[in-house]
Amino acid sequence: VPEDQADKLLLANWGLPRAVLEKYHSLGVAQMFEWQAECLMLGQVLEGKNLVYSAPTSAGKTLVAELLILKRVLETHKKALLILPFVSVAKEKKCYLQ
């Protein structure tokens, strides 16, 4: 992330509602890694263009997907589809996102 865009690491600077930010903060997430911010700032990803990224297990891939989904749903008032690999993960994510 360029130095002039370092503030993009803070979740509070992505235009998310206060309730969403408070939930992330309660989970100990107030900022993202540089690679996550780079993913979100790449090309026209925030305008709905595709993004393919890869990272090790527990590296933070889900946060990138969640932020993209949240921003698009809140800005366009459309629905989103999140595909998860297992029923148990889907149930956990459903409760988390509610």
pLDDT class for 6, splitting at 50, 70, 90? confident
Q: d(Cα 65, Cα 55) in Å, to the nearest integer?
A: 13
Read off the pTM: 0.83
Give the list of residues 6+ apart from residue 33 with CB closer than 8 angstroms, or none.
9, 59, 60
Q: What is the pLDDT of residue 57?
A: 87
Averaged pLDDT score across all residues of the chain: 89
CATH of the domain at 8: 3.40.50.300
Q: d(Cα 72, Cα 80) in Å, to the nearest integer?
A: 8
Q: What are phi and psi of 41, to 5 degrees?
A: -95, 0
User: Could you list the residue range(s) of the whole structural domain that residue 23 is in?
Assistant: 3-97
Give the list of residues 6+ apart from residue 18 with CB closer than 8 angstroms, or none.
none
DSSP for residue 10 = B
Asked if residue 9 has pLDDT above 90, the reply is: yes
| Domain count for the chain | 1
Q: What tens digit of pLDDT does each residue of 66-86 get?
A: 999 999 999 999 998 888 888
Asked if residue 2 has pLDDT above 70, the reply is: no
